[in-house]
A = this chain, B = another copy of it.
Amino acid sequence: MADEATTAVSDVATVDLLGLLAYGELTAFERMATDARMAPTLGDKIALASMATGEFSHFMAIHDYLRSRSIDPERAMEPFIPALTAFHNLTAPADWLESLVKAYVGDSIAADFYREIAAVLPGEPRELVLSVLADTGHAAFAVEKVRAAIATNPTLAGRLALWGRRLVGEALTQAQRVAADRDALTALLVGVGDLETLAAMFTRIIDAHGERMAALGLSA
């Protein structure tokens, strides 16, 4: 009985995690494709559009995996639409540089979180999560463009650093909302280990975030 209950929780949690990740990838596609319209050059536009299609193929990988297990992908994603929509509505980039910082900082911090949590998933979904988190080239692109912009106009650094902090704040707010609504997902997090292990995990994520801000030339 104990084993069955554990499996049931773990299954609900796995579907939740995949649903959240799938909708995250779908909105990443939409956001990058839309941001491509703001691109200052045709080359930038092509680069963004290409990365957007990479996100969509990640989305399809999860979508098809859920289907293959007779799980409705749309039902799996639905619980996470409000939180992700609220996050994106509250953090609409005002310009091209803000959109690059958002994509880099936001997607990377989410990816770190998924990677940590994937460790407690069974083998097949774990491999799937790790494979769809592969960088679509956005990181190097964003770092290059943002650094170049700050080199030309150092006053941008202050505004973009504040923007990075705001993104993390809104992401945490929505993450708490998801955690409060989805017990199975929260249980998965508890499965990572004791409080000390969890604290170490969050420290790793925050440290990596600081390193990325530094790579952009911004204070975290």
Chain A interface residues (CB < 8 Å from chain B):
26, 29-30, 33-34, 36-37, 42-43, 45-46, 49-50, 52-53, 56-57, 59-60, 63, 74, 77-78, 81
Contact = CB atoms under 8 A, between A and B. Distances in A.
Given A26-B45, A43-B74, A49-B59, 14 more contacts: A26-B46, A29-B49, A30-B36, A33-B36, A34-B37, A42-B77, A42-B78, A46-B63, A46-B74, A49-B56, A50-B60, A52-B56, A53-B53, A53-B57
Contacts of A43: 74
Report copies per complex. Answer: 2
A55 to B, nearest CB: 10
Contacts of A56: 49-50, 52-53
B37 A30 contact: yes
Contacts of A53: 53, 56-57
Contacts of A81: 42
A23 to B, nearest CB: 9
Nearest to A88: B37
B78 A52 contact: no
Contacts of A37: 30, 34
A74 to B, nearest CB: 5
A72 to B, nearest CB: 10
A104 to B, nearest CB: 20
Contact of A42 (B33, B45, B74): B74
